[in-house]
Amino acid sequence: MNLDLVATGTAAAVVAAATLRAATPILFASLGGLISELAGCINVALEGVMLVAAFAGVITSAYSTLWFPDAPLWLHPWLGCAAGLLAGTALAGLLAVFHLELGADLIVAGIGLNILAQGLTVLLMAHLTGDKGSTASLASFALPSLRWPGIGAVPVLGVLLNGDEDTGHNVLVYVAMAATGLIAWALRHTVFGLRLRATGENAEAALAAGLPVRRLRYAGLLLSGLLASGGGVFLGMGYLTLFQADMAAGRGYLALAAVFLGGRRPLGTVVAALVFGAASVTAARLGQLAVPAEVVFMIPPLVTIAALVLVKQHQRLATRRRAAAGRAALLSP
């Protein structure tokens, strides 16, 4: 009985750890999407930002050994990480310039930048490695994993905190969690967070109140680029240790869906990102059974659509209940 419990717990912990790993890139990107959405700018370019960040990170970490042969080994992945964050943020900055300075439609420009990212990464990859598929021929680095010492032997907790191979979770998994808390707090409790939300809520009122709306929107888009870049860097230097063509594989759009699904609130967005992570883990597990792969691949998009419908239904019921309660309060003497 007791052994059974431990086995079940371990299996659950394995799934939870895998979910966390799969959800991390979506989590990063959806936090970014949330910030720019709250600033009144939907960021469709999350996908392209992730691609560019993953590419720049992987390539820089691989070439860093050539550029700085005397540098200590631990430095290369961090140089790659910095380059990835910089490149992804720069792409988001480009989106901001095109939208805020040049009057481009935000959604169309975002799609354009996604296509640009897709083309440029494959083009440069083919130029640098002679391969249009992946950078497998380059020796790139992964960011280190953090392993909790001394709990490897603890039954369930060990698997949960250090993964089923007892190597620990990538440092970016923890960064994602920290970023979640920080952003939830900053949006609610700082002046910057309030102003950002005011800009998105009603730009004209914010402008009339003397807020620098344009600068706040720049901040929102650049921050969203920085966060989504974190997800991209994790894809290339944590989740895998190479860059593949079209590596983001729709995660940027899933992140956008997570923002709407979470009702544009930090906690909801995080839950939605975790649900997407769990859906992809479930899909992978079902793939090992006799279920056709095609059916498995349908699960995440169908979950997204179903969730969007259910959330709306839920909101509608809640509004109706509140309206009924309000009427009752008005009518009572």
Partner 1 sequence: MTEGARIALAVGAALALGFLVMACVTDQPWAAFRALVTGPLPSMERAADGRLVMHRLVRFGAWLQDATTLTLVGLAIAIPFRARQFSLGADGQLFMGALAAAALSLGLGDVPAAIALPLAFLAAAMAGAAWGLAAGLLKTRFEANEIVTTLMLNVVAVQVYRLIVGRVLNDPTAGFITTPPLPGAATLGPLIARTNVTAMVLVAPAAVAAVVFLLRRTTLGYEIDLAGANPWFAARAGVPVARATVLAFALGGAFAGLAGFHVSNALLKRLPVDLTPGMGLEGIVVALLARGRVAALPLAALGYAYLRVGAQAMERATDVPREVVLVIQALIILFVVSDRLAPLALGSLRRVWMRIGRTA
Which residues in this chain contact partner 1 in the complex, by CB under 8 A?
44, 98, 101-105, 107-109, 111-116, 118-120, 122-124, 126-127, 132, 250, 253, 256-257, 260, 292, 294-295, 297-298, 300-302, 304-305, 308-309, 312-313
- Is residue 98 within 8 Å of 104, Cβ to Cβ? yes
Query: Smaller CB distance to partner 1: residue 127 or 330?
Result: 127
Q: Measure the CA–CA gap between 64 and 62, rounded to whole angstroms.
A: 6
CB of residue 301 to partner 1, shortest distance in Å: 4
82 or 97: CB nearest partner 1: 97
Closest contact distance (angstroms) between CB of 92 and partner 1 is 14
Residue among 231, 251, 143 at smallest CA distance from 179: 231
Report, in Å, the least distance between residue 183 CB and partner 1.
21
For partner 1, the closer CB: 121 or 229: 121
Task: Rank residues 189 and 314 by Cβ distance to partner 1 and give the closer one.
Answer: 314
Closest to 184 in 3D by CA, of 19, 38, 16? 38
Cα Rg of the chain (Å, integer): 22
Residue 199 sits at the vertex; the CA angle it makes with 197 and 201, to the nearest 5 degrees, is 65
241 close to 77: Cβ distance less than 8 angstroms:
no
Q: Are 308 and 325 in contact (CB under 8 A)?
A: no
Q: How far is the CB of 142 from partner 1 (least distance, A)?
A: 27
User: Shortest approach of partner 1 to residue 146 CB, angstroms?
Assistant: 34
Q: Is the CB of 101 or the CB of 201 nearer to partner 1?
A: 101
Point out which residues pair with 170 in neighbouring strands.
Answer: 145
Cα–Cα distance for residue pair 254/270, rounded to 1 Å: 12
